[in-house]
Each structure stands twice: as structure tokens, then as C-alpha cells.
């Protein structure tokens, strides 16, 4: 598979390199031939960019200077890259003594200011291009070692590295074939940085008289010389600076492009700009429901065009009720919760529908009012309690903050309220635990803290997105019991999003089964599970292992990608009860008795 190479940047760097390479055959003026009578002459037909303080042709010196500057920079960067990466990879992968020697030596090098280090070596070895290359390589070596070392530490803990060990691969093979390609990206970026900065440092050292020896042309020498005559001929300063800037820009673009090109993942392209969302007017809210979602449709921009991960979704959650939204990955269940809470990522937006929370349409609220609702009347609990809590604040303080963001309360009273909440969610010794940091608590405890924050302001609606997925079964049972208690006592409406059918059976009064972006069946949990009306629900139930039941049976095929949905029933391609009519038209949700709805034409209306 050929990937898109950064042709523009390749052409830019190639042109500069080519100019430098073929300089002797370009028929340029002699870059060291003086013409003192015409010193500091401006641009003319014979001298396109004018003449310098000795009357030498500036264009010729620029091109010849590129030869020296670029050779030094490229050779130094390449040398530093090879040596530095080798040190970093061996140090990071082999650990132990090698790591200690390589990394400490590099740390010592890093302690010297680079210019001072370069000055020291040049003073010892004498100026000249040949000395400059190893000097600059030495200056940039630590950067490569550090980048490679950090990359290796990340890569070596990956399962695919462990997999190579399981296969019996030797260390050299793992380092060269597995680790090296995976740290290639950052190392390439480092090459571009080192090369660009080597050109600058070469200029600086030459300017100080420690690099390229006059009269040989180099960009640094030219800048140095032009500085003296800056008032008489400011253009002389401009040309080498311009050449330097363009070269560095081209190199950075090339390295960025190469990094993307060697990455087998498709590149992300930014979302297209939309000035206005076409919002369709919603229907009137039904009575009583705490949350009433009607015809919700979400659009997300992706590299391959807009997709609709949720289409025409309607559901209601009543006070004291738990509605579970269950589905597999790609079903759109989490996108639904993000759309309702107004937390869709930047590339996503609601294109149709309405979501009323106690009569307020959440989807059309200004951001400021939405923010006040979140954590107030509408609270959320997410899957990963570890990343939802701020690691640098005590959990008690985080609960207090949640309270005081919505209510005026003195610090002392908020602290007392936080402890009461911690006790309420079943945390033993709440006064002491309030002073703990999140990392001092177990996963189950952290999820209890998240629930305490969620119920701090007596929400009407609690949206829980896979709240027990990261927890062990004995802890999961405790948290599910806690949620059921809270719902019973406070009458809040619970929208519970999960992939686990047994969890749904344990906690939900009603269940909405989602498949590829739409609800295919909804109704009271016990009835839906006892006699599923939609073939997908039935297949899903058959694939869940039951301890004392028949062996689980999977569903053949995969969920259709949102870019290629079937025109008829979207489950038809995987359905074992498919009819010819199933492909004809997309079925609507139809009533199936006892407050149930299903999206299957085989169910009698």
C-alpha cells in the first residue's frame, strides 16, 4: 500500500539540495572573487542579489554557502540521530548497567550549554567544517537519546513487544524490528529539529569565527559580515536570513510529512467548517417524563465524510425509573448520552430532534445554561473513575467544589455536606477518606466518590455511562445496589448505558436495545428478555453466556460501518429470519404490545 508522501516538502528540500549540489556547474560568478570598486552594489543584471562588502556576488555566495551549511547540518543531524537513537534504544530496552551508563553520560552532556560545548571543542580542535560536524552531532546527541529512551519505555510495556518475547524472539530482533519502527515518528521530528537548529548553530559559530573559515562562503559568515554594513546595505542581511528561514521551514515540513507517511494509520483531516446547523423543530414534550428525547439525530464529521451514529432516537425516562440503553460498540449508545448532556466532541453536532429535561430543551440551551444544568439537575457518572477525578485535589474538596458550583454555601457547611455524601455512598470512615487523594482510593471507592459528586445537588436525572464496567464483580454488585437504593430513595430518573445484558437485567425497569445507531426494541426489561420481539435482541441474548444455559452463540458478520448502512432493515444482513421485504424499506418502530416497541416488520402491528 502506497501512502501519500509529502511531495511539496520533498520538492522544496530537493530543490535546495539540488541547487547546492550543482553549484559548480551553474555558471555562477566566482564566490570568492573580489571586486572592491563595486562593494555593496545593489542588485543588477550581472549580480542578481547585489555584491557584498568586498564586491563578491551575493547569489553565488548564497548557493555555495548552502553547500557548506547544509552538508554540515545534515551530516551532524544524521550522526547524532544514529548514535543517539542507538544509545537510547539499547539503554531503554536492556535496562540495568547499559541504561545507567548511557543515560548518565547523556545527562552530563546535557548540563553543558550547547554553544559553550561547541566553543570548547572548536577551540581545542581548531575551526573548519570537518570539526563542526562531530561538534554539532555531540550537541544534538542527548536529544535523540532522550526521545528514543522515552519512546522505548512506552513501547516496551506494550503487549505486542511481550508477544515477540513469547514467540521466542531475541533482543536484537525485538529492538530492530518492533521497537525501532514504533519510535520512528518522534525520532523523525527530532531529526527535523536538530537539522534546522544545526543550520542555525553553524551560522552562529561561523559568525563568531569558529566555524567555516573565510573566505569560504557560509550563511553564518554572510550574516556576520552583513551585520557590519547593516546601515549601508540592509539587503545583504536579508538574503542569507531568508535562505536560512526557507530551508528550515522546508525541512520541518518534510519531516512532519515523512512521519505521517510512515504511520500506517490514515491521517486525520480536520472537520469541515459548518456555519449553521439545520435544527428541525421538535415535537411537544410528553408529560411526567423527566427526560424526553424525540427524534435525536447526531452527525459527526470524519475523514471519509459525515456519519450519523445516532438516528431518529426517541426515549423517555420517568421519575424513579431506570432505563437501560444497551448495545455493542458502534451502536451509538454513548453518543446518545453525550448528545443529551451537550458534551459531543467538536466534530459532532445534533442535526435533528429535541431532548427535554423537565420541559427545558437541552439541545437548544445556550452553553452557559447547559453548564448550570450539568452537575445540577442533570448529573453524570462515567466508566473510568480514575480519569474523571482530578488527581491533585483531595476527594472531599472535589465534592465541596461540586456543591458550591451550584449552591451558595459556606466552606464549613460544604465540607460537612461532602462527608455526609461520602457516608451516603457507603464509604467507611468518610471524614478521613475526604482528605484522601484519588490515587489513594481503590477503583470501587473512586466510583463511589463520582456518584457522591453526581448526587451532590439532588439531580432529577442521573446519566450513568458504563459505570461498573471497570470494576470487579463483587464491587460491581455493591455499586449497582447503591444506584438502585439512591433511585428508590430520591426518585431520580436513571439513564443507564451499558453493553452488559446481565447488568441490565439486574438494574433496569425498562430497556432500549440499540443497533448501529437506532433503537431496535424497547420495553419492560423482564418482558423483553423473556420474549424478545426483534431478532437482534434475541441474537444478543443467545450470545450472552448463561451459567446454567446452552453454550453462547455469536452473531455472524459485523455491525455495518456508519458509512455504508443497508437501505432496508439495518440488521437484515445478519438476521436469521430475514425476508425479501426486509431489504425493501427501512422499518419504523412499531408497537408490540405491553408498552413495547420494535423495529421489525415480522412483528404483527
Partner 1 sequence: MTALVTASGLSKHFPHGGLFARGRAVQAVNDVSLAVARGETLGLVGESGSGKSTVGRLLLGLLPPTAGTVSFEGTDLAGAGAGTLRALRRRMQLVFQDPYGSLDPRRRVGAQIGDALSIHGLLPRAGRAGRVAALLEQVGLDGGHAARYPHQFSGGQRQRIGIARALASGPDFLVADEPVSALDVSVQAQVLALLADLRARLGLAMLFISHDLPVVRHLCDRVAVMYLGRIMEEGPVATLFAAPLHPYTQALLSAAPSLHPERRKTRLLLQGEPPSPADPPSGCVFRTRCPIAVPACAERVPVLRGEGHRIACDRV
3-state secondary structure 477-543: HHHHHHHHHHHHHHCCEEEEEECCHHHHHHHCCEEEEEECCEEEEEEEHHHHHHCCCCHHHHHHHHH
CB of residue 306 to partner 1, shortest distance in Å: 21
Q: Does 491 bind partner 1 (CB under 8 A)?
A: no
- Pattern 553-582, binding to partner 1, x per CB under 8 A? xxxx-x------------------------
Name, in order, each residue with C-beta under 8 angstroms of 70's C-beta and a sequence gap of 6 or more.
Answer: 16, 17, 20, 199, 247
What are the respective helix, strand and coil percentages of the chain, to the nearest 5? 50, 15, 35
Q: Which is nearer to partner 1, 369 or 439 (CB)?
A: 439
Q: Does 366 bind partner 1 (CB under 8 A)?
A: no
CB contact at 8 A, 47 and 33: no
Q: Does 160 bind partner 1 (CB under 8 A)?
A: yes
Q: Does 154 bind partner 1 (CB under 8 A)?
A: no
Binds partner 1 by CB under 8 A, chosen from 529, 560, 562, 592? 529
Is residue 342 helix, strand or coil?
A: coil
Q: Which of residues 262-321 bind partner 1 (CB under 8 A)?
A: 262-266
Q: Does 543 bind partner 1 (CB under 8 A)?
A: yes
Q: Which is nearer to partner 1, 136 or 541 (CB)?
A: 541
> Which residues on neighbouring strands pair with residue 378, listed in sequence order?
374, 461
Stretch of 27-35, 179-187, 253-261, 278-286 contacting partner 1, by CB under 8 A: 179-187
CB of residue 377 to partner 1, shortest distance in Å: 29
CA-based torsion, 568, 573, 575, 580: positive or negative: positive
Q: Which is nearer to partner 1, 21 or 558 (CB)?
A: 558
CB of residue 577 to partner 1, shortest distance in Å: 16
Stretch of 15-23, 171-179, 290-298, 395-403 contacting partner 1, by CB under 8 A: 171-179
Spatial distance between the Cα atoms of 190 and 28, rounded to a whole number of angstroms: 35
Q: Which is nearer to partner 1, 199 or 395 (CB)?
A: 395
Q: Which of residues 6-45 bind partner 1 (CB under 8 A)?
A: none
C-alpha cell read off for 132: 563542526
Q: Which is nearer to partner 1, 343 or 558 (CB)?
A: 558
Type and span of the H or E element at 176: none
How many residues belong to the site for partner 1 (CB under 8 A)? 65
Name, in order, each residue with C-beta under 8 angstroms of 14's C-beta and a sequence gap of 6 or more.
Answer: none
Binds partner 1 by CB under 8 A, chosen from 37, 281, 551, 604? 551
Binds partner 1 by CB under 8 A, chosen from 173, 227, 458, 594? 173
Binds partner 1 by CB under 8 A, chosen from 1, 2, 275, 580? 1
For 342-410, where are the alpha helices, taking DSSP H only? 367-373, 385-388, 395-404
Binds partner 1 by CB under 8 A, chosen from 472, 485, 576, 581? 472
Binds partner 1 by CB under 8 A, chosen from 167, 276, 580, 588? 167
Q: With CA atoms as reference, report the closest residue to 180 among 194, 197, 164.
A: 164
Binds partner 1 by CB under 8 A, chosen from 44, 442, 563, 567? 442
Q: With CA atoms as reference, report the closest residue to 484 among 288, 321, 371.
A: 321
- In this structure, the number of other CB atoms found within 10 A of the CB of residue 307 comes to 17
Q: Which is nearer to partner 1, 370 or 578 (CB)?
A: 578
Binds partner 1 by CB under 8 A, chosen from 40, 478, 484, 527? 478
Stretch of 33-41, 80-88, 170-178, 372-380 contacting partner 1, by CB under 8 A: 170-178
Spatial distance between the Cα atoms of 108 and 119, rounded to a whole number of angstroms: 17
Spatial distance between the Cα atoms of 176 and 182, rounded to a whole number of angstroms: 10
> What are the C-alpha distances in Å from 335 to residues 222, 309, 330, 347, 490?
59, 7, 9, 12, 27
C-alpha cell read off for 321: 425509573
Q: Does 474 bind partner 1 (CB under 8 A)?
A: yes
Spatial distance between the Cα atoms of 354 and 361, rounded to a whole number of angstroms: 6
CB of residue 87 to partner 1, shortest distance in Å: 22
CB contact at 8 A, 162 and 245: no
- Pattern 499-528, binding to partner 1, x per CB under 8 A? xxxxx-xx-------------------x--
CB of residue 523 to partner 1, shortest distance in Å: 16
CB of residue 330 to partner 1, shortest distance in Å: 8
Q: Which of residues 227-246 bind partner 1 (CB under 8 A)?
A: none
Burial of 346 (0-12, 13-18, 19+ CB in 10 A): exposed
CA angle 434, 436, 442 (to 5 degrees): 105
Tell me whether the omega of the peptide bond preceding residue 215 falls within 30 degrees of 0, making it cis: yes
Stretch of 56-64, 142-150, 271-279, 477-485 contacting partner 1, by CB under 8 A: 477-485
CB contact at 8 A, 106 and 142: yes
CB of residue 328 to partner 1, shortest distance in Å: 4
C-alpha cell read off for 582: 426486509
How far, rounded to the nearest angstrom, does the alpha carbon of residue 547 sit from its chain's CA centroid?
A: 39
Stretch of 31-39, 107-115, 227-235, 544-552 contacting partner 1, by CB under 8 A: 544-552
Q: Which of residues 325-354 bind partner 1 (CB under 8 A)?
A: 328-329
Stretch of 83-91, 181-189, 201-209, 227-235 contacting partner 1, by CB under 8 A: 181-189
Q: Which of residues 412-441 bind partner 1 (CB under 8 A)?
A: 428
* DSSP designation for 582: G
Q: Which is nearer to partner 1, 45 or 168 (CB)?
A: 168
Q: Does 496 bind partner 1 (CB under 8 A)?
A: no
Q: Which is nearer to partner 1, 310 or 503 (CB)?
A: 503
Contacting positions for partner 1 (CB under 8 A): 1, 158-160, 162-170, 173, 177-178, 181-182, 184, 262-266, 328-329, 428, 442-445, 472-478, 480-481, 499-503, 505-506, 526, 529, 539-547, 551-556, 558
Amino acid at each position: 500500500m502506497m501512502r501519500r508522501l509529502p511531495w511539496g516538502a520533498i520538492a522544496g528540500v530537493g530543490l535546495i539540495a539540488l541547487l547546492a549540489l550543482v553549484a559548480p556547474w551553474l555558471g555562477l560568478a566566482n564566490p570568492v572573487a573580489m571586486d572592491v570598486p563595486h562593494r555593496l552594489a545593489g542588485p543588477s543584471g550581472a549580480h542578481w542579489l547585489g555584491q557584498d562588502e568586498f564586491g563578491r556576488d551575493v547569489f553565488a555566495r548564497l548557493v555555495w554557502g548552502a553547500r557548506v551549511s547544509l552538508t554540515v547540518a545534515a551530516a551532524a543531524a544524521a550522526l547524532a540521530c544514529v548514535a543517539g537513537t542507538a544509545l537510547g534504544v539499547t539503554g531503554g530496552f536492556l535496562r540495568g548497567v547499559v541504561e545507567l551508563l548511557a543515560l548518565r553520560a547523556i545527562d552530563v552532556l546535557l548540563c553543558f550549554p550547547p554553544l559553550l560545548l561547541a566553543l570548547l571543542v572548536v577551540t581545542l580542535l581548531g575551526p573548519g567544517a570537518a570539526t563542526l560536524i562531530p561538534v554539532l552531532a555531540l550537541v544534538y546527541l542527548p536529544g535523540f537519546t532522550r526521545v528514543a529512551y522515552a519512546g522505548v519505555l512506552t513501547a516496551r510495556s506494550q503487549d505486542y513487544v511481550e508477544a515477540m518475547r513469547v514467540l521466542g524472539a531475541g533482543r536484537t530482533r525485538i529492538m530492530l524490528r518492533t521497537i525501532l519502527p514504533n519510535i520512528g515518528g518522534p525520532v523523525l521530528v527530532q531529526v527535523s529539529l536538530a537539522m534546522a537548529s544545526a543550520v542555525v548553530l553553524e551560522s552562529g559559530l561561523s559568525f563568531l569565527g569558529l566555524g567555516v573559515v573565510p573566505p569560504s562562503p557560509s550563511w553564518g559568515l554572510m550574516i556576520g559580515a552583513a551585520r557590519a554594513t547593516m546601515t549601508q546595505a540592509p539587503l545583504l542581511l536579508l538574503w542569507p536570513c531568508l535562505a536560512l528561514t526557507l530551508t528550515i521551514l522546508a525541512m520541518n515540513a518534510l519531516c512532519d510529512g515523512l512521519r505521517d507517511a510512515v504511520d500506517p494509520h490514515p491521517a486525520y483531516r480536520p472537520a469541515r467548517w459548518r456555519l449553521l446547523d439545520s435544527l428541525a423543530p421538535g415535537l411537544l414534550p410528553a408529560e411526567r417524563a423527566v427526560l424526553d428525547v424525540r427524534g435525536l439525530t447526531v452527525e459527526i464529521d470524519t475523514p471519509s465524510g459525515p456519519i450519523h451514529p445516532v438516528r431518529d432516537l426517541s426515549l423517555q425516562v420517568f421519575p424513579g425509573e431506570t432505563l437501560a440503553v444497551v448495545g455493542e460498540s458502534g451502536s451509538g449508545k454513548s453518543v446518545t448520552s453525550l448528545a443529551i448532556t451537550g458534551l459531543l466532541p467538536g466534530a459532532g453536532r445534533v442535526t435533528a430532534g429535541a431532548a427535554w429535561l423537565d420541559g427545558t430543551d437541552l439541545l437548544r440551551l445556550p452553553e452557559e445554561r447547559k453548564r448550570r444544568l450539568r452537575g445540577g439537575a442533570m448529573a453524570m457518572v462515567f466508566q473510568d473513575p480514575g480519569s474523571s477525578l482530578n488527581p491533585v485535589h483531595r476527594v472531599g474538596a472535589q465534592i465541596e467544589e461540586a456543591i458550591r458550583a451550584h449552591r451558595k454555601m459556606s466552606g464549613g457547611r460544604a465540607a460537612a455536606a461532602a462527608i455526609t455524601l461520602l457516608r451516603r455512598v457507603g464509604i467507611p470512615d468518610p471524614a478521613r477518606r475526604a482528605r484522601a487523594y484519588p490515587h489513594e482510593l481503590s477503583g470501587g471507592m473512586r466510583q463511589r466518590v463520582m456518584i457522591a459528586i453526581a448526587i451532590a445537588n439532588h439531580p432529577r436525572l442521573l446519566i450513568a455511562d458504563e459505570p461498573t464496567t471497570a470494576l470487579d464483580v463483587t464491587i460491581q454488585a455493591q455499586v449497582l445496589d447503591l444506584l438502585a437504593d439512591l433511585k428508590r430513595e430520591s426518585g431520580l430518573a436513571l439513564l443507564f448505558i451499558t453493553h452488559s445484558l446481565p447488568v441490565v437485567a439486574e438494574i433496569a425497569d425498562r430497556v432500549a436495545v440499540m443497533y448501529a445507531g437506532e433503537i431496535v426494541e424497547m420495553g419492560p426489561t423482564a418482558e423483553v428478555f423473556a420474549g424478545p420481539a426483534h431478532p437482534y435482541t434475541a441474537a444478543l441474548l443467545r450470545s450472552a453466556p448463561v451459567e446454567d444455559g446452552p453454550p453462547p452463540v455469536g452473531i455472524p458478520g459485523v455491525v455495518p460501518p456508519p458509512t455504508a448502512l443497508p437501505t432496508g432493515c439495518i440488521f437484515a444482513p445478519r438476521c436469521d429470519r430475514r425476508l425479501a421485504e426486509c431489504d425493501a424499506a427501512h422499518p419504523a418502530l412499531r408497537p408490540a404490545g405491553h408498552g413495547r416497541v420494535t423495529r421489525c416488520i415480522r412483528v404483527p402491528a
